Amino acid sequence: MKTIIEPFRIKSVEPLLFTTKEQRKELLQKAFYNPFLLHADDVMIDLLTDSGTSAMSSAQWAGIMLGDESYAGSKSFYHFESTIQQLTGMPLVIPTHQGRASEKILFSIVGGKGKYIVSNTLFDTTRANIEYSGAEGVDFLCEEGKHPSIPAPFKGNMDVEAFEKFIQEKGAANIPLCMVTVTNNSGGGQPVSMANIKAVKAVCSKYSIPLFIDACRFAENCYFIKLREEGYSDKSVESIAHELFSYADGCTMSAKKDAFANIGGFLAMYNVELAKQCRNLLVITEGFPTYGGLAGRDLEAIAIGLNEVMDEHYLQYRIRSIEYLTEKLVAAGVPVMQPAGGHAVYLDAKAFLPHVPVDQYPGQALIGALYVEGGIRSVEIGSLMFGKYDADGKLIPAMMELVRLAIPRRVYTQSHIDYVAEVILEVFEKRNQIRGLEIVEEAPALRHFTAKLKPL
């Protein structure tokens, strides 16, 4: 059959709350033109993030009822631990309440002033935790990944040549860790090839630099490898995942993505001494090493979800859902990141709103317009999120100005996606009416979460 159906039945539903365009104009103004500050009840289709917003399965809900809430030595932890050990091959597993807690612990130990953490592209919280430690995050995205409209199969790849040149300039002793993000969230949800991971590993091994995987969307990345990389079409996603993790010395993961959970994360690694330091910090900040800030029920849900996500019927539906929306927009001439990524559709805000300069935050202006037009909440991945100021206070813009529409897993149907496309096309028709924004209040780190803006 040509039609790809949702590989599940809907067992429980949550009603949507509808608002009018006039109401949404007022609500956005009260939220200072930052959709993060909206109440969730005032959002009709919430594509702000795919993190923690998935629909859990009946098996996961059953697991929640089986959760062992013992403070120490919970059997739910051992289920969680063995699942991750089997998936990654890494013997040392440290639970955390979410991905950024794993990052905070890891970079508090390996980071510090004068250090560099290198990556294909770091996401916002990863970079913030690196910088909070005093270290500097440095991205080496491949050239094709910097051009949203040019299709290429693995636009999330790392520029290995630039990475090695950087090592030679700064010294391997000042680079305690390399982190490859799969899929590359900041770069359009684009996958990383196995060949690229092997090449990065070879450079890391040459200079004795540990390689960590940011594994939030590992299954989506592995499915792209199966679809697009020579030699993998007849391999299972599970076997591809085992190979991917085999090149790494450790990993971090937010279980709120590819494990379908509402909360949770983990660190996994081989290095006994590093794991000991991480657990010491975990006890201070998160909790005992067999729960790490999580309830036993959450540990159960994560363990079950990590196995469910490798179901290839699910992954086929998941990737095709993103392609479906991307294709509708491309057919109408809307500038989007191509090819479709794994978890989201990314609009090219710079091309969508060429009349809005980057220092007026075109991505943020566009997400406001999408909310007003149709109650859709999305997120800017551009100069509000990643921009910095030079010594004179002038904005140093981000590499790209994108708007991410992240599709929660197993939540919305095709008619919801058709509605999203309709809203985007309505906004595209009226794009010349959209004005830029200026910041009136911002935090020193991760400003996009709480920034207040006003129209120009």
Task: Give residue 103's Cα distance to chain centre.
Answer: 13
Sign of CA dihedral 378, 379, 382, 387: positive
Q: Is the pLDDT of residue 1 over 70?
A: no
Q: What is the CA radius of gyration of the chain?
A: 21
3-class DSSP assignment, residue 234: coil
Q: H or E segment at 169?
A: helix 160-170
Report the 10 Å Cβ neighbour count for 443: 10
Residue 159: predicted pLDDT:
98
CA distance 323 to 307: 24
What per-residue string of b and e applies to 173-208 under the rule 16 or more CB within 10 Å gives b?
eebbbbbbbbbbbbbbbbbbbbebbebbbebbeeee
* Cβ-contact 30, 267 below 8 angstroms: no
Q: Which tokens go with 189?
A: 């949800």
Place 445 in a pLDDT band, splitting at 50, 70 and 90.
Answer: confident
CA distance 92 to 6: 36
Q: Is the pLDDT of residue 6 over 80?
A: yes
* Cβ-contact 375, 422 below 8 angstroms: no
Q: Is the pLDDT of residue 200 over 90?
A: yes
Q: Which tokens go with 124?
A: 């916002």
How far are the Cα atoms of 88, 198, 310 from residue 77, in angstroms, in the given order? Answer: 16, 32, 21
| Mean pLDDT of the 161-171 span | 98
Residue 381: predicted pLDDT:
94
| Mean pLDDT of the 367-391 span | 95
| Mean pLDDT of the 159-183 span | 98
Report the 10 Å Cβ neighbour count for 432: 8
Q: What is the pLDDT of residues 119-156, one digit of tens each?
A: 999 988 999 999 999 999 999 999 999 999 899 999 99
Residue 392: predicted pLDDT:
87
| Mean pLDDT of the 168-187 span | 96
Residue 4: predicted pLDDT:
87
Site of tokens 């559709």: 345
Q: What is the pLDDT of residues 265-303, one digit of tens each?
A: 999 999 999 999 999 999 999 999 999 999 999 999 999
Higher pLDDT, 443 or 211: 211
* Cβ-contact 163, 200 below 8 angstroms: yes
Residue 186: predicted pLDDT:
86
pTM of the model: 0.95
Share of the chain above pLDDT 70, in %: 100
Q: Is the pLDDT of residue 178 over 70?
A: yes
Mean pLDDT of the chain: 96
Domains of the chain plus CATH, in order, are 21-50+311-455 (3.90.1150.10), 58-308 (3.40.640.10)
| Mean pLDDT of the 193-210 span | 99
Residue 124: predicted pLDDT:
86
3-class DSSP assignment, residue 299: helix
User: Which one, of 20, 24, 15, lies nearest residue 371 by Cα?
Assistant: 24
Q: H or E segment at 396?
A: strand 395-396
345 bridge partner residues:
405
Q: What is the pLDDT of residues 32-77, one digit of tens each?
A: 999 999 999 999 999 999 999 999 999 999 999 999 999 999 999 9
| Residue 83 preceded by cis peptide, ω within 30 | no
